[in-house]
Chains A and B, each alone.
Chain A
Amino acid sequence: DGGITQSPKYLFRKEGQNVTLSCEQNLNHDAMYWYRQDPGQGLRLIYYSQIVNDFQKGDIAEGYSVSREKKESFPLTVTSAQKNPTAFYLCASSMSKNTGELFFGEGSRLTVL
């Protein structure tokens, strides 16, 4: 079935370590997004990509990095520069950036020890 797969579902990190969250989609969507969710807040956009080899910063890009080498894949790296990385991270995709229904992955919960 078509959809978005995020991994890992749970991740623990020591302070000072970089971690990479995987996001893969087989929906043939051009646009992919990474969101962060914190308790009591709406989802906030970290990065988005409209096409392979191109990506743009969202509202809260500091301390994060992404790549889009393949249409299907949009991994997110949480770097040691991110001061408060403990959160729930959601990957999403849509046919194109400004249109279409959104499809979400199951999310990755990152905890910094």
Chain B
Amino acid sequence: KNEVEQSPQNLTAQEGEFITINCSYSVGISALHWLQQHPGGGIVSLFMLSSGKKKHGRLIATINIQEKHSSLHITASHPRDSAVYICAVRSLMNYGGSQGNLIFGKGTKLSVKP
């Protein structure tokens, strides 16, 4: 079982739709990151969360520490939102040889059609 699970793996939406991408994790964490990977491969950090909710433009990220779950919402989706969205958690436990290393989900590929 992967420590970080994202759903869905692939998502196709019509322009204007409200989109939700989910991330569940099984380890104790100090922070959770939502990242956006463009078709060319570059990655941009969208949010870093340790509790509650954050909003930036049409993007909203929430986290429930007790349930070990986070969601990324996109309101009024647009074709330029098409990308792979990646959830990553900063583990409290020793992982990859060092405490505090990031564990990445496999990503959710979003395609927004005009």
Instruction: Tell me what chain B mostly uses at the interface: helix, strand, loop, or mixed.
Output: strand
User: What's the interface size class on A, roughly?
Assistant: 20 to 34
Q: Are A97 and B97 in contact (CB under 8 A)?
A: no
B107 contacts across to A, CB distance below 8 A: 42
Q: Are B48 and A101 in contact (CB under 8 A)?
A: yes
B103 contacts across to A, CB distance below 8 A: 42
Which residue of B has the minimal Cβ distance to A4? B42
Tell me whether B102 is interfacial, beta carbon within 8 Å: yes
Interface size, chain B (Cβ < 8 Å)? 28
A101 contacts across to B, CB distance below 8 A: 33, 45, 48
Tell me whether B57 is interfacial, beta carbon within 8 Å: no
Tell me whether B30 is interfacial, beta carbon within 8 Å: yes
**In the complex, A65 Cα to B58 Cα: how many Å?**
41
Q: Are B96 and A59 in contact (CB under 8 A)?
A: yes
Q: Are A42 and B86 in contact (CB under 8 A)?
A: yes
Tell me whether B43 is interfacial, beta carbon within 8 Å: yes
Tell me whether A109 is interfacial, beta carbon within 8 Å: yes
B63 contacts across to A, CB distance below 8 A: none
**In the complex, A34 Cα to B89 Cα: how many Å?**
17
